[in-house]
Structure 1
């Protein structure tokens, strides 16, 4: 079974985190994501409730003629309860100490547990199927980090928008992680 984690394509910044849409470039790249995933025999598509994550994987859902299953816990990690003054310093701190959380935010450990609990539920329910999850950079890397700590903040900094990683499993045991974005 394969799980394809898809970081959303480039989006237009708005303060509306849930409703932020893809940019023109993001829509073009989402078409490439669709073409890439058409070759992978996808069975089901899941996404964060955020518009940009949904829009990035809409094409493959349409292609396989299935509705996107929205999973709230695949949304991006909450860094802090209100905007931080220095994003780089704030994000660096949570990656340095997995138990640290800014006021109103999630620690890496908390966000990772939230996402991986749902990930394992999906893997159990759809055993043997090829699944796509449209999600976000930080939470995607935290899910990957659960299985392999080589996926950390430096890896996150190098992610592209979009980016696609194939995680191959056998009985919920990770066998391999392979980047498939930019390999087409």
Structure 2
């Protein structure tokens, strides 16, 4: 249950009653350190992990009530962490963060139980708002539509996910050279 001190709606004053454990899984150490500090200041019991194996190990030790998981970890995919958390604690609330956001991975994350999907860099207030949002309230639609470059990139990512992240098969289906596809996949999403 959430309470607001002095009836203020400021996210900085949100406190979680009961289980306020949160697991932050991200391989960007400076980013996860800043985020952990911000969550601690807001009353959360924070644990961090920098890899899929560290994240799943932390979940096995004590499944948290909340989690913030980076989609692309150096050692694997954040979806594996979400799946492990969903099996260990189905009521956990998970937000996915990524610098490589795309519709296909967002859909996969939501199917596995994530409640929201945010693009990096996201600040602590945005993440907390996503974690605490009433599930019956729909998120506001974006003010600016996607550019043509972004739509192309989304389509490539969707096909890549449908091919189980197999670069050669994705390139074949898109009638694209494999190296060209690899360069596109290595870049951040266009705006």
> Under a length normalisation based on structure 1, what TM-score does the superposition of the two structures give?
0.35
Higher relative contact order (CA 8 A, sep 6+): 1
More helix by share: 2
Q: TM-score, normalised by structure 2?
A: 0.35
